[in-house]
């Protein structure tokens, strides 16, 4: 049997984005020996792409804001499919998490009286997002990165985890990975493992996600026997770049709309007024006159419809394009040039100015942007206990995008950065407590390690011509066309069949070259994860016969509160097959339910 580089720690954290590093800082502070492993270099995680801000009811701009309002906005945005307890903890704790970042050196933009400035965002009743221009994610990631470095956490960079390890009782007790640089195996023994691997966007063709968003954590959990929930709930961000082709999918921050940007079709019509659903009528402007006054006087006027929750805006854009009123490259126009001065735009949206200038040769202070929906975020994920972030398999924890429940069927902008701080910390505590209370040392099952290693290397022995890149593109086409923003039964059934065939293709992918820094091999391994996850998404989408948030069924265009509004779609492995079942949502206590009755 081969000897592998082996590390034994109390807590192993997979992923070095905001959630992973926040978890690491906490676990380490609790006295657990902690290691972080990540696929890229430290500080490159997808968290850097978050632009708009971090939502927290600090009440700096609107003193009437408090956790209850934030909680209510979050639940309503999530179409009540959220795990209420997660939404509650999130709303209650995010202000402290933001203030704590300042203790670690973060520098948010300020109000005139020197406090943290907050900006407006879709679905948030009050201006609530603490931000730094439009690079809040970078600020947050650097801050927790410096913190993690400061407390001396060991970081294993450019290392891909292939499978989790389990002990004789089925508890998770480690992981096996490969060093991307050398292709050698690395084995971790750990009493607790925290998944903080982010999202799944790479199973779609047009996505705002980086190459890392291949659903690794979702798949690792699934393969280790854990439950996933609501994997059909995927957010298509309404404003992604659509031109040039190579930049397609790249995000255009919602901050553009918060700061005055409006959506127009090819006829120059500000079309969002035609798409205000009953659910949001009471709080949305129905005339241009009213909407335009809101930017200056938020107290007396209702919000413009451009700031409806993301799912509503994405569907509206989709309808305009389908009706033939789209822009030349198949999207719609996002116009801030005619609304704000060039100076204002450059000051408030510097990264956007830069991004369009460099990539599309468009000056957003002069011309409108062409935008359309792009796969952005998965609300579904690993089923966790709200308080401890524990998954359904002992020893396993999950935080951030990889965890499900917090955002229900649709996530509000700004709630992701706060999510990863609140639940990153909680996962760190949960994992450390679990590890510190567990007696004895971790024993690694060498046979499991050996079979994982053998499996990972099998791609080099596969004969035939199947190429990882081609198989990945085929998967992306299937998902984009058949399990995209608008879904229907016949297409989902087709997708299920195609995925079955693709899964067989993915198994026989053959890798050329050697083990040292070989992206073809890494993709073959990532592809396994994406295959498993796309099946979960497709099954969930078939089973949820209603439209709710990020899941839209053409054949069931409205929500069905009596049946589907009360259940999570749970996917798990039964043998080698992904199975789906319905389970009731956790029930909200009466004192919180009242918050929703008062609102009417």
Partner 1 sequence: MSPESATAVEKNLQMRLWRGDAEGGEFTEYNIPAQEGEVVLDVVHRIQAEEAPDLAVRWNCKAGKCGSCSAEINGRPALMCMTRMSTLNIEEPITVSPMRGFPIIRDLVTDVSFNYAVARRVPAFQPPKLAEGEVFRMQQVDVDRSQEFRKCIECFLCQNVCHVIRDHEDNKESFAGPRFFARLAELEMHPLDTLDRRRLTSEQFGLGLCNITKCCTEVCPEGIHITDNAIIPLKERVVDARYDPVAWLGRKITGKPDPTPAAVAARFAPETLAQQQEARSAGRIGTHPETSGAGTSR
**CA-CA-CA-CA dihedral for 541, 215, 434, 37, to nearest 10:** -170
CB of 221 closer than 8 Å to CB of 493: no
Token pair for 464: 């035939």
Q: Which of 237, 376, 472, 522 is catalytic?
A: 237
Residue 289 to residue 296: CA distance in whole angstroms: 12
Site for partner 1, residues 499 to 518, rule: CB under 8 A: 511-514, 516-518
Burial of 168 (0-12, 13-18, 19+ CB in 10 A): exposed
Under the binding rule (CB under 8 A), the answer on residue 147 touching partner 1 is yes
- Write the DSSP assignment of 11-28 as a string of letters: EEEE--SHHHHHHHHHHH
Q: Which of 90, 131, 166, 257 is catalytic?
A: 257
Residue 131 is among the residues annotated as catalytic for this protein: no
Under the binding rule (CB under 8 A), the answer on residue 306 touching partner 1 is no
Residue 508 to residue 522: CA distance in whole angstroms: 14
Which listed range, 136-144, 276-284, 319-327, 414-422, lies at the site for partner 1 (CB under 8 A)? 136-144
Under the binding rule (CB under 8 A), the answer on residue 363 touching partner 1 is no
Name 352's Cβ contacts closer than 8 Å, sequence gap at least 6. 51, 134, 252, 253, 255, 256, 364
For partner 1, the closer of residues 322 and 514 by Cβ is 514
Binding-site member from 73, 93, 139, 498 for partner 1 (CB under 8 A): 139
Site for partner 1, residues 76 to 135, rule: CB under 8 A: 99, 102-105, 107-110, 113-115, 132-133, 135
Which listed range, 24-32, 223-231, 247-255, 313-321, lies at the site for partner 1 (CB under 8 A)? 247-255
At its nearest, how many Å lie between partner 1 and the CB of residue 540? 28
For partner 1, the closer of residues 12 and 251 by Cβ is 251
Site for partner 1, residues 473 to 492, rule: CB under 8 A: 473
Binding-site member from 31, 41, 387, 501 for partner 1 (CB under 8 A): 41
Residue 580 to residue 600: CA distance in whole angstroms: 36
For partner 1, the closer of residues 204 and 271 by Cβ is 204
Binding-site member from 288, 342, 470, 599 for partner 1 (CB under 8 A): 470
- For residue 567, count other CB atoms closer than 10 A to its CB: 17
Under the binding rule (CB under 8 A), the answer on residue 460 touching partner 1 is no
Sheet with 332-335: list strands edge to edge: 234-241, 369-378, 332-335, 262-264
List alpha helices for 296-375, DSSP H.
310-322, 342-348, 350-360
Residue 506 to residue 567: CA distance in whole angstroms: 32
At its nearest, how many Å lie between partner 1 and the CB of residue 44? 4
Residue 417 to residue 129: CA distance in whole angstroms: 10
Under the binding rule (CB under 8 A), the answer on residue 565 touching partner 1 is no
Which listed range, 25-33, 74-82, 295-303, 462-470, lies at the site for partner 1 (CB under 8 A)? 462-470
At its nearest, how many Å lie between partner 1 and the CB of residue 140? 11
Site for partner 1, residues 148 to 177, rule: CB under 8 A: 149-150, 152-158
For partner 1, the closer of residues 138 and 569 by Cβ is 138
| Cα separation of the two ends of the chain | 67
Residue 151 to residue 347: CA distance in whole angstroms: 35
For partner 1, the closer of residues 367 and 433 by Cβ is 367
Q: Which helix H or strand E contains 185, and what residues bound it?
A: strand 185-195
For partner 1, the closer of residues 150 and 554 by Cβ is 150
At its nearest, how many Å lie between partner 1 and the CB of residue 327? 13
Residue 472 is among the residues annotated as catalytic for this protein: no
Known catalytic residues? 237, 257
């Amino acid at each position: 049997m081969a000897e592998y580089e082996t590390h034994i720690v109390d807590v192993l954290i997979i992923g070095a984005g905001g959630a992973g590093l926040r978890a690491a800082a906490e676990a380490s502070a609790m006295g657990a020996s902690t290691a972080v492993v990540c696929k890229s270099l430290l500080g490159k995680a997808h968290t850097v792409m978050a632009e708009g801000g971090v939502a927290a009811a600090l009440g700096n701009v609107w003193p009437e804001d408090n956790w209850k309002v934030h909680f209510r906005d979050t639940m309503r945005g999530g179409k009540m499919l959220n795990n209420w307890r997660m939404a509650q903890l999130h709303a209650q704790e995010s202000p402290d998490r933001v203030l704590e970042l300042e203790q670690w050196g973060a520098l948010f933009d300020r109000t005139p009286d020197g406090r943290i400035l907050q900006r407006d965002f879709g679905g948030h009743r009050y201006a609530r997002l603490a931000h730094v221009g439009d690079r809040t994610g970078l600020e947050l990631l650097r801050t927790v990165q410096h913190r993690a470095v400061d407390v001396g956490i060991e970081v294993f960079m450019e290392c891909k985890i292939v499978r989790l390890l389990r002990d004789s009782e089925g508890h998770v007790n480690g992981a096996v990975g490969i060093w991307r640089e050398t292709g050698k195996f690395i084995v971790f023994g750990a009493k607790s493992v925290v998944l903080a691997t982010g999202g799944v966007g790479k199973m779609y063709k047009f996505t705002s996600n980086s190459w890392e968003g291949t659903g690794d954590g979702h798949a690792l959990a699934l393969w280790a026997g854990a439950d996933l929930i609501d994997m059909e709930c995927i957010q298509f961000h309404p404003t992604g770049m659509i031109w040039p082709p190579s930049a397609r999918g790249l995000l255009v921050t919602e901050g553009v709309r918060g700061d005055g940007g409006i959506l127009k079709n090819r006829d120059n019509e500000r079309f969002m007024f035609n798409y205000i659903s009953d659910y949001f009528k009471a709080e949305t402007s129905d005339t241009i006159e009213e909407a335009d006054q809101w930017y200056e006087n938020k107290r007396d006027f209702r919000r413009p419809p451009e700031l409806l929750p993301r799912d509503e805006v994405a569907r509206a854009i989709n309808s305009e394009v389908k009706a033939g009123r789209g822009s030349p490259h198949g999207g719609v126009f996002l116009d801030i040039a005619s609304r704000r001065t060039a100076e204002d735009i450059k000051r408030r949206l510097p990264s956007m100015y830069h991004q369009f200038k460099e990539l599309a040769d468009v000056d957003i202070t002069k011309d409108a942007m062409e935008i359309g929906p792009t796969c952005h975020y998965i609300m579904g994920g690993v089923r966790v206990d709200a308080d401890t972030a524990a998954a359904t398999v002992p020893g396993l924890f999950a935080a951030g995008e990889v965890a499900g429940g917090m955002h229900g069927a649709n996530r509000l902008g700004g709630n992701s950065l706060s999510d990863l701080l609140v639940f990153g910390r909680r996962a760190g505590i949960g994992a450390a407590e679990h590890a510190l209370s567990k007696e004895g040392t971790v024993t690694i099952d060498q046979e499991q390690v050996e079979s994982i290693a053998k499996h990972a290397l099998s791609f080099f022995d596969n004969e035939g011509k199947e190429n990882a890149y081609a198989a990945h593109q085929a998967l992306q086409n299937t998902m984009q066309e058949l399990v995209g923003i608008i879904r229907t039964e016949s297409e989902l059934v087709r997708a299920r069949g195609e995925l079955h065939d693709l899964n067989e293709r993915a198994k026989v992918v053959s890798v050329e070259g050697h083990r040292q820094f070989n992206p073809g091999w890494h993709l073959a391994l990532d592809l396994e994860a994406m295959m498993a996850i796309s099946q979960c998404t497709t099954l969930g989408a078939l089973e949820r016969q209603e439209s709710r948030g990020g899941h839209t069924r053409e054949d069931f265009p409205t929500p069905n509160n009596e049946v589907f509004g009360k259940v999570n779609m749970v996917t798990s492995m039964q043998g080698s097959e992904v199975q789906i079942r319905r389970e009731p949502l956790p029930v909200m206590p009466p004192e919180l339910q009242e918050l929703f009755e008062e609102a009417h």
